Structure formats: C-alpha cells, structure tokens
Amino acid sequence: MGCGASSIGTARRPQSPGRLVSVAMTTAQPTARPTALTIGNFDGVHLGHAALIRRARELAGPSGRVVALSFDPHPASVLRPGHAPSRLTTFQRRGELLGALGADEVLPLVPSQDLLSLSPEAFVERVVREHGATRFVEGRDFRFGHKRAGDTTALKQFAAKLGASAEIVDPVRVALTDQSVCVASSTMVRWLLENGRVRDAAAMLGRPPELSGVVTRGDRLGRTLGFPTANIDCDTALPADGVYAADALLDDGRRFSVALSIGSRPTFDGVDRRVEAHLLGINTGAAEWAPIPGLPEYGWRVRLELTAWIRDQVRFANIDQLRDQLARDCDRARQICAGAPVLECAP
C-alpha cells in the first residue's frame, strides 16, 4: 500500500456497551497506553480486516488502544487519477464497522504527494511519532512507502529500530457458493457485487453488503404502476443490474423489507442507472400514495442491506406484463426477507 497524511479529529460514536469508538478528522496525540495500530484501505470492512482488528485488540489488551489508519480517499486517486476502485463504504461507515469490531480510533490517511514520496523507513517513523504505535498488525500483502517499496519484512525491521514490533496476520479464506475458496479482499467483494453475487459478498464481508444514499425525486412512474419507489442517490458502488431482495434501515431505527431494482428501466427506454426501492408494506391498500409516516417526501437517508438477487433486468412488451412481474418480485422479496430458502443464480 502507499502512504498518506493523517488528519484526525474527534467525533465519538457508540461502539458496544461500555466502549466508544472515535471516528476522527484531525491529528490525534499519542498516549502512553500500549497502542496496536493497523494501516490499510479497509474498504468494505471484510473478514480479513476483522482478523486484523481482532488480533490488534488481543495485543493491545484491555488497557491499550487499537488504532486503524484508513486511506481516504484511495491512494490510487492520487497515483492514477480516474482509476481508483469504486468505493464500497464511506469513511464514516468504515469507522462504525471497524469500531464495532474493536477499534478505539479510526483515523483517515489522506494521500498527498509529500507522504506518498516518503521512504518506507520515514513512513514508519512518522506513524510511530504521530500515533504512538507500539505494535503494528498487518496482512501478508501489506506494502508501504514510496512506490510501495516497503514490505512486511521491512516493517518489522523499521519498527524494531523504534522500539515497536510488527505482527503479520494470515489471510482469511472464504468458501463461496460455486465451491471455490477465495482470499477475502475488497477487490473480490467488488467483483462479486458487479456480478450480482450478493450472498457470496455477504460471506466475504461477514454481513450483508450495503448501499447507502439520499432519497431524491424520480419520474414517479412507480406510483402510476401501483409500486411507488424511493429513488436513491447512492454514494457507494452498485451491484449488477437486476432486482434484489433487501432491507431498508432508516436513521430512526425503523426497518422495512424491500424489492430493489437497479438498472436503466429498459421497458421505458431508460439510459441512466437508477436505484429504486419499493418498501413492502407501505401504502398497502391506500387509495392514494403518501410519504412514509414521519419522513418528508425527499431528502432522507437510507441504508440498504442486500439479501439476494432475484432476477435480471428485462424489457417487457407492455405495462401489464411489467406490473404482473413487479407483483411477483414483491412476493419473492417478501418471502426471502421472511427467511425463505434462496437458490441464487446471479447473472
């Protein structure tokens, strides 16, 4: 991995009973407490990341602290503008997930040309100086410093010079539904989602894959069909086009089962990809559409947990065929969200 400048500030969020995680935005001061530190992109926060945090927590002990330095944005946005991988999680969500796993502080590493040009040894020196690291915890493929010249052997050597140590954690392997076994990685999670394999992505993440964003105004075609949707402007990577079963989580804690459509709406000759969520059980039997109780029509945030792929996008010959299929999609999504077995044949 490359390296970046840290800027750390403090916004505390609940992590687990009796503990708080600090998702920071300005530079934090090192403390005398034992500090286990891990560095990476942590995009998606998959099982491999969880193994790093878990080991760091063990090494820090109950009186120590665990610090995760997370690149934000991805170093490729500086090194190869226009070629950075799509983002699986926002930095804020990354902080919440890493905190739930055991991190006390989740701090951004903002890539800069100055930091990216540091030698591997200078990078380690800066991390120890700024964050008080006494132990580094990394995966076997960890690379750092100018042109990614530093590897895990160099990390151990440079850390030892500064009175710290480094422990290398083995990769986590995950069995997928096609009988393959793959190393957990953000790259693999992206590939699985791009191919509609949300169940396999969930196995690699240790939880359902997520989309998040703000509800915006659409064409309101769903209302005329009897299936009103929330059109969501997502700030994270989208899975393959298709219809999915999902759960919608609102900021006030409410949860709804969802039939989710992602794609360009081929029946209506659409061009742009859209994320349209039909919340099941809302406005059922109502003569006219109405907003969700307690929410405005637009402008509210929602997080979607993808449960299963249902079908591909299809161009229908007429509106009646589309309406009939939407009813079947909703029935299937309702069954899946209620726990029905899933035989997923993603595209």
Domain at 84, CATH number: 3.40.50.620
Whether 40 and 143 share a structural domain: yes
Whether 85 and 14 share a structural domain: yes
Residue 202 lies in a domain: no
Whether 138 and 21 share a structural domain: yes
pLDDT at 289: 75
Residue 193 lies in a domain: no
Both tokens assigned to 60: 């820090």
Whether 155 and 228 share a structural domain: no
Both tokens assigned to 301: 């945030």
Residue 195 lies in a domain: no
Whether 164 and 42 share a structural domain: yes
Instruction: List, for residues 172-230, the tens digit of each pLDDT value.
Output: 999 999 999 999 999 999 999 999 999 999 999 999 999 999 999 988 888 888 899 99
Residues spanned by the domain of 114: 5-170
Whether 141 and 213 share a structural domain: no
> Rounded to whole angstroms, how far apart are CA atoms 54 and 96?
15
Residue 236 lies in a domain: yes
> Rounded to whole angstroms, how far apart are CA atoms 343 and 43?
28
CATH number for position 248:
2.40.30.30
Q: How many alpha carbons lie under 13 Å from residue 197 in its C-beta half-sphere? A: 14
Residue 180 lies in a domain: no
Instruction: List, for residues 78-136, the tens digit of each pLDDT value.
Output: 999 989 999 999 999 999 999 999 999 999 999 999 999 999 999 999 999 999 999 99
Task: Give phi and psi for 142, each to the nearest 5.
Answer: -65, 130
Under the banding of pLDDT at 50, 70 and 90, the label for residue 345 is low
Count the domains in the chain. 2
> Rounded to whole angstroms, how far apart are CA atoms 112 and 174?
34
What is the pTM assigned to this prediction?
0.88
Instruction: List, for residues 230-262, the tens digit of each pLDDT value.
Output: 999 999 999 999 999 999 999 999 999 999 999
Residue 94 lies in a domain: yes
Whether 220 and 324 share a structural domain: yes
Whether 38 and 156 share a structural domain: yes
Whether 29 and 163 share a structural domain: yes
Whether 157 and 222 share a structural domain: no
Residue 248 lies in a domain: yes
Instruction: List, for residues 42-87, the tens digit of each pLDDT value.
Output: 999 999 999 999 999 999 999 999 999 999 999 999 999 989 999 9
Boundary (domain end) residue, out of 144, 170, 196: 170
Boundary (domain end) residue, out of 124, 151, 170: 170
Residue 198 lies in a domain: no
